[in-house]
Amino acid sequence: MPLVTLKEYRGNIASTVRETQISSLIDSWINLTSIEIHNYHFWTWLRRKQTFPTVTDQEDYNLDSEVDRIGLLRERTTTTKLLYLPDRLFYRFVSNPEDLGSGNPRYYRLWEETGFSVNLAAADTIYVSSSSASDGSSVTVRVIGRNSSGEVVGETLTLNGTSSVTSTTTFAVSGLMQISKSGATTGTITCYRTTGATVLSELEPDNLTPRYKRLSFYPIPSSVLTMNLEYFERYRYLVHDTDVPQMDVKWGWVLREGALAKTWEYKQNETAFAQHQAIYQQGLKLMRAQDEANADYIPVLQPRFSQYGTIRRVSDSVNDNFPAYSLVI
């Protein structure tokens, strides 16, 4: 029978190495191997898509926390594919992004990831609560941000189930920076602005610190447009016994071999480590080969254009200071 859940992987590996006292370490090696697989290739089974509207004269947009890497971004009604420009190219031509004016976006940039999907529109306190009454004082939530004096401060809030726990700190406008929790929870933890109960961030049971990618459109949208986003899903940690890896169950043996290799390395069995590590590496190559054979195309994702092709200047441009570029594969 194929391995499916975290508990099944843990039990199989512990039985193989005849070791029952290192369950937490085995869990960490299973997650580490799963992360390696997740980052090894742009897997088709991790591809997702969604749409979202632009807001007139709004430059910046926070994406959902599950967005890891962007594959394709385009404006739906005109089928215009937007080009990602890294800072090293953007600032070569534009000293002030506002000089680009407004219109239909043709370029986008990626900004820092933040722990909040929405920041404070005015100075305020915040409060947190869980969707489950089981999440009590054993779990804390840490919030970091700037106070009204501009100082970076942090406050720790102890959960009280579904009841609200409010901060004593008043955070500044757009001052929230990071939120995290001390461990896995039964329910989803939601952070709200105290005034108006605006949802600022959500921490799912196995997500200890949410991250939201922020992108900026240029020119800044002059109207409401529908954007089509294709992306690759962020890694989800395996925490609970019933959690399953984000991969086809048929490749479970590859995950097992990688985690087993790490376990043998810990036990200083170099022969067993080398054997299982070699099988793991071959399994990764086989996974990638089959995934690429099934894909219609492999999307361009990364900011390093030279990795995928060359930059070519084209005749049309947003303005005289910012020439348009296309990526030649």
DSSP letters, 69-137, are EEEEEEETTTTEEPEE--HHHHHHH-S-GGGG-EES--EEEE---BS-SS--SSSB-EEEEESSTT--T
At residue 307, the pLDDT reads 39
Fill in the DSSP letter of residue 306: G
Q: What is the pLDDT of residue 207?
A: 86
Helix residue ranges, H only, 155-311: 252-266, 270-294
What are residue 110's phi and psi, to 5 degrees? -105, 135
Do 151 and 172 meet the contact criterion of CB atoms below 8 Å apart?
no
Q: What is the pLDDT along the chain (329 residues), one digit of tens a residue?
A: 678 899 999 999 999 999 889 999 999 999 999 999 999 999 999 999 999 999 999 998 989 888 999 999 999 887 778 988 888 887 777 777 777 778 889 889 988 778 998 899 999 999 999 999 999 999 999 999 999 899 999 999 999 999 999 999 999 999 999 999 998 899 999 999 999 999 999 998 888 888 888 899 989 999 999 999 999 999 988 988 999 999 999 999 999 999 999 999 999 999 999 999 999 999 999 999 999 887 665 554 444 444 333 434 443 344 444 444 443 33
Going by their DSSP bridges, the two strands 60-62 and 214-218 should be labelled as antiparallel
Q: What is the pTM of this model?
A: 0.77
Among the listed residues 236, 245, 113, the one whose alpha carbon sits nearest the alpha carbon of residue 179: 113
